[in-house]
């Protein structure tokens, strides 16, 4: 990771977002390839809604409302539908996922969350290896484990936490044997 990210220590969303962004940077440095499909679909849906709104404004401005009434009705319906799909995508498909990537045939999906008024960072890692069932690992650690008193992210403890949380990395890296929260793997069974 290049520059030291900084966050406001009194803002949980900022601590979470800074930590989330650092996951992708760290895993990229370890050779993981990130899959951007979730973000790409969100961008396409968002830009589609903006293009619909901008096009409607342009035609209304140049031709007048009376000539564009019917087109405006269809544009409003299309904008409404695009935003419903976008909302469904963010809440249903992404649902807290901050990283999807793969390395050496292993695919991981990392979701994160915090609870209100609790400075604990919760990660859920779903790991899929070829020919095996997906495994789910849930870990948590306080933000104070990797943010210093000025709000700068300290790389080593954060990288240790992430390395020990991902099963395929924990098996190959000796760092962080002193980590307080040990990952608890859970097998998920798909019906």
- What pLDDT digit, counting tens, does each position of 38-95 carry? 999 999 999 999 999 999 999 999 999 899 999 999 999 999 999 999 999 999 998 8
What does the pLDDT read at residue 172? Answer: 61
- Cα of 137 vs its chain's centroid, Å: 16
How many angstroms separate the Cα of 129 from the Cα of each of 17, 25, 31? 28, 22, 16
- DSSP structure string for 38-86: HHHHHHHHHHHHHHHHHHHHHHHHHH-HHHHHHHHHHHHHHHHHHHHHH
Mean pLDDT computed over every residue of the chain: 87
CB 127, CB 135: distance < 8 Å: yes
How many Å apart are CA 57 and CA 28, to the nearest integer? 42
Specify burial of residue 180 (Cβ count, 10 A radius: 0-12, 13-18, 19+): exposed
Kindly indicate the confidence band of residue 183, based on its pLDDT and cuts at 50, 70 and 90: very low
What average pLDDT score do residues 149-172 get? 88
Q: Which structure tokens are listed for 44?
A: 């396409």
Contact of 71 with 60, CB cutoff 8 Å? no
Tracing tokens 């900022």 back to the chain, one arrives at: 14
């Amino acid at each position: 990771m290049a520059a030291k990210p900084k966050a406001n220590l009194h803002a949980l969303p900022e601590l979470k977002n800074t930590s989330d962004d650092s996951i992708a940077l760290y895993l990229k440095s370890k050779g993981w390839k990130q899959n951007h499909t979730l973000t790409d679909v969100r961008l396409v849906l968002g830009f589609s809604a903006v293009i619909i709104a901008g096009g409607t404004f342009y035609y209304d401005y140049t031709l007048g409302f009376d000539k564009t009434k019917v087109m405006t009705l269809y544009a409003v319906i299309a904008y409404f539908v695009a935003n419903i799909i976008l909302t469904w995508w963010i809440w249903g498909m992404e649902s807290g996922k901050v990283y999807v990537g793969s390395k050496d045939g292993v695919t991981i999906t990392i979701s994160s969350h915090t609870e209100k008024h609790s400075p604990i960072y919760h990660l859920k890692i779903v790991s899929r290896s070829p020919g095996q069932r997906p495994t789910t690992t849930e870990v948590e650690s306080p933000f104070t484990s990797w943010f210093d008193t000025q709000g700068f992210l300290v790389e080593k403890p954060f990288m240790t936490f992430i390395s020990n949380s991902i099963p395929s990395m924990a098996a190959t890296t000796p760092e962080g044997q002193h980590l307080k929260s040990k990952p608890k793997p859970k097998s998920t069974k798909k019906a």
